[in-house]
Chains A and B, each alone.
Chain A
Amino acid sequence: MSRLSPAERALQLTTVCCGLLVAAMLALMLVLAWPLLHSGQLLSLIGGDWQPAAGRYGIAPMLVASLLLAMVAVLLAVPLSLGTAFAAVALAPPLLRSPLMLGVRLMSGIPTVIYGFAAVFALVPLMRQWIGSGSGFTLLTAALVLAVLIAPTMIVFFVGGLRAVPQSYSLAADALGCRPVDKLLYLLLPQAAPAIAAGIVMGLGRALGDTMIGLMLAGNSAIMPESMLSTGRTLTSHIALVIAADFSSMEFKSIFACGIVLYLLTAALVAILRRALPATARP
């Protein structure tokens, strides 16, 4: 058996530590949520409503709001990101491609709170006007901004996938009279499909995990949303709001159940990604 170098040993140790840390986080959340789980309220916790005064700590409204918000944000972000990636790889004039990607990378570095802050003043009044009633703080408002927030992550994945298509394929297509749009549709898109799928899943993961946008723009009412024009509270916002006001009650313990649900949702996404993609395309 070959001996490992010090660098390989260090990497191996880091990997084991990371794995243990992730497992420890789950264990900690299970321990802290145990009083609630132990009291036989698991089903009502996941399926019930949030009425802490009545002793009901259900997170269903938050779960639905989180899933709705994340999925709509991804649906909005996919065409935006694909269009930008296509422009950066093939459609925009060559001189504009680098500045475009520079802009995308800059966008990914802007703190989330800035997006939220800008939207409170720019988008919320427009939404209020468009809906005609209410405050303008809705799941749709949050989804629009979340789409812009997750787009850079997706664009980087998409561009990476499109650029990884061997140049020989691209030249062969060019020599056959392929227009840029044909090349994207018939050659680059099918070849980059695994990276595009990976980007979508990563975007969904980021959308599910984001706290600030939901907190600042979705309205935060802990009731089951009826539509995207309703207000809503995401799981992450819920955790942030409860943790800021409490530290020992049953309400406080319930947020660890939220953490477990978020953890399992993210783990499920990663598992789906690993199953869906060929080994070479896995992030």
Chain B
Amino acid sequence: MTTTMNGKIRTESLSFSYGERLLLEDISVEFADQAITAITGPSGTGKSTLLTVFNRLWEEIGGGPLHGQVLLRLEGRWQDIHAPEMPVSTLRRRVGMVFQTPNPLPMSLAANLAFPLKLAGIDDKEEIAARSREALRRVHLLAEVEDRLVSDARLLSGGQQQRLCLARALMLRPEVLLLDEPTSSLDPKACAGIEELLLELKESCAIVLVSHYQDQISRIADQVYLLGERTLLRQR
């Protein structure tokens, strides 16, 4: 396939199975940088599993085997995400992910936000505090939790937890953001806020969004793919 100057993720002859089921067969696609790429399709076709191909999270949940290549454009050149020089921890710090079900870690809000920075070796308290406030502000959560950053993150409401998880994913300023139905547990106001944030975020990263909501896709997506029977068809 031909590659474009603004591609961020590319697959070449990608085939991927999950259990006994072949989800993708010989797929070559390219997702744009500074754009929102939506993946839609009927329930059970493996949209969420497909996202885990891009950060190799499938390796933790027992998917595979994977054949073909998944490439990420970093510092202007395409790099195989399975290459030895790309440690999986480094890949996942550059490719953030937010799950459909909010999954705050069993620690305080502040510790949740500091956790990815701690893993990346950033321990400057002032920097952590500044980045945490900035991330919370971007997901429209700062005003709601400013006075209880030391309380257990699991005590937040579902919507607040999801926004916290999004803020946590933003802490490392990822180059790709994988979002699995990120607004499904949010009320319409929070949902609108997140959509606004995604439009803002796409200026600095590539966003791959799995969503069922056609109206949401039509509002914010730049590219749309339909995951069907082992294929990924471009719709827009």
Contacts and interface: CB of A to CB of B under 8 A. Distances in A.
A33 B168 CA distance: 65
B87 to A, nearest CB: 8
Interface stretch (A60-68, A130-138, A168-176, A205-213): A168-176
Contact of B103 (A169, A182, A190, A191): A169
Interface in A174-211: 174-179, 182, 186-187, 190-191
A174 B92 contact: yes
Contacts of A179: 89, 119
A171 B90 CA distance: 16
Interface in A135-184: 168-179, 182
A172 B115 CA distance: 11
Contacts of B165: 172
Given A177-B90, A186-B115, A171 B106 contact: no
A174 B103 CA distance: 12
Interface string B84-108: 0000111111001101010111100
Contacts of A177: 88-93, 116, 119-120, 172
- Counting chain B CB atoms within 10 Å of each CB, which of A172, A173, A190 scores highest? A172
B118 A175 contact: no
A174 B55 CA distance: 10
B93 A176 contact: yes
Contacts of B118: 186
B57 A175 contact: yes
A169 B106 CA distance: 8
A175 B61 CA distance: 12
Interface string B160-172: 0000010011001
Measured as residues with beta carbon below 8 angstroms from the partner, the interface class of chain B is 20 to 34
Nearest to B87: A179
Measured as residues with beta carbon below 8 angstroms from the partner, the interface class of chain A is 10 to 19
A186 B104 CA distance: 14
Contact of B55 (A175, A182, A190): A175
B147 interface: no
Interface in B15-63: 55, 57, 60-61
Interface in B139-193: 165, 168-169, 172
A176 B116 CA distance: 6
B119 A178 contact: yes
Contact of A170 (B60, B97, B115, B119): B60
A182 B119 contact: yes
Contacts of B119: 176-179, 182
Given A177-B119, A177-B120, A168 B106 contact: no
B57 A174 contact: yes
Contacts of B97: 175
Contacts of B172: 176-177
Contacts of A186: 115, 118
Contacts of B104: 172
Contacts of B55: 175
A149 to B, nearest CB: 34
Nearest to A191: B106
A172 B99 contact: yes
B57 A171 contact: yes
Nearest to A172: B103
Contacts of B88: 177
B222 to A, nearest CB: 24
A186 B111 CA distance: 11
A171 B99 contact: yes
A138 B96 CA distance: 56
B103 A168 contact: yes
B92 A175 contact: yes
Interface in B68-93: 88-93
Contact of A176 (B90, B101, B168): B168
A171 B92 contact: no
A118 to B, nearest CB: 39
Nearest to B107: A190
Given A175-B55, A175-B57, A169 B116 contact: no
Contact of A173 (B61, B96, B99, B105): B105
A191 B106 CA distance: 8
A186 B89 CA distance: 15
Which 6 A-B residue pairs are closest in the complex by CB-CB distance? A177-B92, A177-B93, A172-B103, A177-B89, A168-B103, A175-B97
Given A174-B92, A176-B115, 14 more contacts: A169-B103, A170-B60, A171-B103, A176-B93, A176-B116, A176-B119, A177-B89, A177-B93, A177-B116, A177-B119, A177-B120, A186-B118, A187-B106, A191-B106
12 contacts: A171-B103, A172-B99, A172-B104, A174-B57, A175-B55, A175-B97, A176-B92, A176-B119, A176-B168, A176-B172, A177-B91, A187-B105
